[in-house]
Amino acid sequence: MIKIIKILFFIFIAGCWLIAGSMFISHRRMRDRDYIRIHDTAQIKLALKNYFKTASLYPVSSGECLTPDSGVGSELIEAKEIYRIPFDPLWPAAGPERAKRTAGYESFCYFYFSNSFNEFSLSFFLEANSRAGGQGVNILRP
């Protein structure tokens, strides 16, 4: 009987360690994805600033998910301001409703909007709070 209790106790302790480890790994992956998003948006913002220095305006868009194939994304690549347009690390994943409705995409992306030549907004999603922004949709401006 004591052997059974020892075995059950060992299984319980091992199970606790496995659960704690998987929670740590899951949280770490979430933070890594957020780091990638912050880095990606910084690259896009720099490309937009360089585009502005060259053209004296930001590309005008009624709102779009940045892709390398069309719109502002392809314009930045053609102007050689950015090598590639990054995608969200969880593509495809659920994202802000505005990005889904406006751009017709079913997954989150780096969403660009500009209705004037000297301003823009770039929205992105963070899974956790950080120094770069809060959990949820964040918006970068020049």
For residue range 6-61, what is the model confidence (pLDDT) as tens digits? Answer: 777 778 777 777 777 666 677 788 888 889 999 999 999 999 999 999 999 999 88
Buried b (16+ CB within 10 A) or exposed e, 67-88: beeebbbeebbeeebbeebbbb
Looking at the domain that runs over 2-140, which CATH code has it been given? 3.30.1690
Give the per-residue SS3 of the chain: CHHHHHHHHHHHHHHHHHHHHHHHHHHHHHHHHHHHHHHHHHHHHHHHHHHHHHHCCCCCEEEEECCCCCHHHHHHHHCCCCCCCCCCCCCCCCCCHHHHHHHCCCCCCCEEEECCCCCCEEEEEECCCECCECCEEEEECC
| Residue 77 confidence (pLDDT) above 70 | yes
State pTM to two decimals.
0.74
